Chains A and B, each alone.
Chain A
Amino acid sequence: MTNDHDRPDAIVSVRGLRTHYVDRQWWFQRLRGRQPAAVRAVDGVDLDIRRGEVVCLVGESGSGKTTLGRAILRLAPATHGQIFFEGRDITGLRGAEFRRLRPKMQMIFQDPHGSLSPRLRVSDLLTEPYRIHDVPADQRYSVAELLEMVELSATLAEKYPHELSGGQARRIGIARALSLHPDFLVADEPTAGLDVSAAAKILSLMRSLRASHGLTYLVITHNLRIVDYLADRLAVMYLGRVAEIGPAEQVLDAPAHPYTRALLDSVSEPDPHRRQGRRRLLLPGEIPSPKNPPSGCSFHPRCRFAEAVCREVPPLAEVDSRHLASCHLSSKIRAAGTPV
């Protein structure tokens, strides 16, 4: 396996990560002699993110991509498996011990306004991380510097979150995340709720910040245009597992998993010439419940190519150098032609 396992340059490594949410009344199910049902939001993920790279995580709603991102930052519980940060196992770290690591790993949240404490002014929001961690004055950015970093006017310092536009609120969220000099950023739908031009500016800002601050990103999105623009590597998630992972260009050009193909095909093509002669593979139905995933390959009920062999759970196997897919028929799928 070459999922960049045990690479010394991995900033974040995830091994066999599962996040299962058990029913609150699980003890009653036990009493009745039944296996309590669990929602398997993340169901066994291995992932390595190398320092300086941008990994995009895509998948439908309910595929577990946000939960995975939150679990890496320990905002969602890891019920099984391990999370390593800079080679250190952080899965079991508790309380203050873990909080000391927080500055190095930050998150940009999906809801630009909702993630800002509504009664604090921008200046207080941006200095809040310093008060939390008691950062000495000489190691702090000033509010003006932080605002400048995200290309905002210093006059915003006295505003309240509800007085900001979506793009401004998003930038404040980024500035707050950057205030503690993080190495690793999880960005959950960084363009959610923004219009096209604001979204484009945020993406270019993220790209330039990555260069100037030496950041590593895990970008969670369902927007393949973001992938195109930012990603070095692309991981496709389906029902809590990685269906396919590899260098972004390779995955986009020659997807090896039928689910990836269907995702790519679902993007509308504005150019009518390119649209012609293109066979679109559209997904029937909806993503199954993570409470009761299908047996064998969890994608088989929606897969056009499914065969008898798909009754077995497929391993995440190499299809090309550094390109892995969890499909028995991946070579066949790739031969069937490029989607776009």
Chain B
Amino acid sequence: MTIAPAPDRVPPTSAGLRPLLGRLVRRPAGAFGVAVVAALLLVAVFAPHVVPYDGATQDIPNRLQGPSGSHLLGTDGLGRDLLSRILLGVRIELAVALPAVCTSLVLGLLLGLVAGYRGGWVDNAVVVFMDTIQAFPSVVLALVLVAVLGPSLTNLVIVVAITFAPQSARVTRASVLALRQSPFIEAERALGAGTLRIIGVHVLPNVIAPLFILLAMNIPSAITVEAGLSFLGMGVQPPTPSWGVILSEGFADVYEAPWAVLWTALALVLTTIGFTTLGETLRDVSDPRLSGAKGLRYDR
């Protein structure tokens, strides 16, 4: 029986993300999704520097104009440039949606892991809690929460996070329930692995893939909730150019000049499709069994 030092490991790949991205853009849907999302992120970062107008200056004589050379997408009811306002709005949307959805995912992931793995009364309690939250339509629930907390950007993030957490908790819990019974979890227990290690190393990587798609899918939903709340005056407050505010203001003059509503709706649709295709492709390529290639590498 010879005893030798541990084998040389393949150097840890900080590039764990790079091959994933590479496989992503090799598919048409993935390339499209990446392009849209990248464009949105770039706009969010650089919009203030590239927009033709500041989006706040009013120009009443030129109000409700259609697309023209000086205003590519036209102007709103106060003569403000729509292109500038929509591009500046991207930053607001992502500032609400990204932290909100990420928080909801972490929250849901933790709840789902605990409920699914622990089972018993903990599971029952979590499920009842989640069912209660989901029993309300998300906008109604968000409205109630905003009414209690007061309308502000931070509260909007909290409200959206709470509203969206049950979804990811359910998805996680369902995967954990299936995994908990699988032989390799018992094999880990037989090897002497503790609960934390089993959850962290063997359960987590196998439940995280469906959350990718949820992340990407929920960002447009979060934007919609933001838009809905702002439209009702309970979210972002005018004159901040969030898409909800633009829509809300645009509806006042929708019969004379549908431009504001039209462009904002198109931006919403494009964002939704972009994030959704990204999420779906991400799910496909991140699972080594689906892609037949290398999966996420686990290093210690």
Contacts and interface: CB of A to CB of B under 8 A. Distances in A.
Nearest to A146: B7
Given A109-B183, A119-B205, A119-B295, A176 B6 contact: no
**Top 9 A-B residue pairs of the complex, sorted by shortest distance between their CB atoms:** A102-B192, A114-B183, A99-B192, A115-B183, A115-B187, A142-B4, A107-B190, A143-B7, A111-B183
Interface in B168-200: 182-184, 186-194, 197
Contacts of A162: 288-289
A154 B126 CA distance: 46
A120 B194 CA distance: 18
A87 interface: no
Q: Is the interface of A mostly helix, strand, loop or mixed?
A: helix
B49 interface: no
Contacts of A114: 182-184
A95 B196 CA distance: 12
Contacts of B6: 127, 130, 137, 140, 142
A99 B196 CA distance: 14
A145 B2 CA distance: 8
A99 B201 CA distance: 17
A105 B93 CA distance: 56
Given A111-B183, A116-B184, A120-B298, A106 B289 contact: no
28 contacts: A96-B194, A106-B191, A109-B187, A109-B190, A110-B183, A111-B183, A114-B182, A114-B183, A116-B184, A117-B188, A118-B206, A118-B289, A119-B298, A121-B297, A127-B7, A128-B191, A131-B300, A132-B188, A132-B192, A138-B3, A140-B3, A140-B5, A141-B4, A142-B4, A142-B7, A160-B288, A162-B288, A176-B191
Contact of B190 (A75, A110, A142, A160): A75
Interface residues of B, number: 32
Given A120-B298, A140-B3, A140-B5, A115 B192 contact: no
B202 interface: yes
A203 B36 CA distance: 57
Interface string A87-115: 00000000110011011001101110011
B296 interface: yes
Given A109-B183, A127-B6, A138-B3, A117 B190 contact: no
User: Most chain-A Cβ atoms within 10 A of its Cβ — which of B183, B187, B288, B296?
Assistant: B187
A312 B183 CA distance: 39
Given A138-B5, A160-B295, 7 more contacts: A100-B192, A115-B183, A115-B187, A121-B298, A144-B7, A173-B187, A180-B191
Interface residues of A, number: 47
A123 B206 CA distance: 19
Contacts of B289: 118, 162
Contacts of A128: 188, 191, 193
Given A99-B192, A114-B182, A131-B300, A141 B3 contact: yes
Contacts of A288: none
Contacts of B7: 123, 127, 142-144, 157
Contacts of B192: 99-100, 102-103, 129, 132-133
A58 B188 CA distance: 25
B5 A129 contact: no
A227 interface: no
A176 B187 CA distance: 10
A303 B206 CA distance: 48
Contacts of A133: 192
A117 B296 CA distance: 13
A285 B297 CA distance: 51
Interface of B: 2-7, 9-10, 182-184, 186-194, 197, 201-202, 205-206, 288-289, 295-298, 300
A73 interface: yes
Contacts of A143: 7
Given A110-B183, A162-B288, A132 B190 contact: no
Contacts of B206: 118-119
B296 A119 contact: yes
Contacts of A75: 186, 189-190
A124 B296 CA distance: 13
Contacts of A99: 192, 194
B288 A119 contact: yes
A153 interface: no
A114 B298 CA distance: 19
Nearest to B288: A160
A107 B188 CA distance: 10
A300 B191 CA distance: 40
A145 B183 contact: no
A292 interface: no
A276 interface: no
B4 to A, nearest CB: 5
Interface in A127-184: 127-133, 137-145, 157-158, 160, 162, 173, 176, 180
Nearest to A100: B192
Given A99-B194, A137-B5, A116 B187 contact: yes
Interface in A6-32: none
Contacts of A132: 188, 191-194, 197
A212 B68 CA distance: 86
B297 to A, nearest CB: 8
Contacts of A96: 194
Contacts of A138: 3, 5
Nearest to B295: A119
Contacts of A130: 6
A144 B197 CA distance: 25
Contacts of B10: 158
Contacts of A106: 190-191
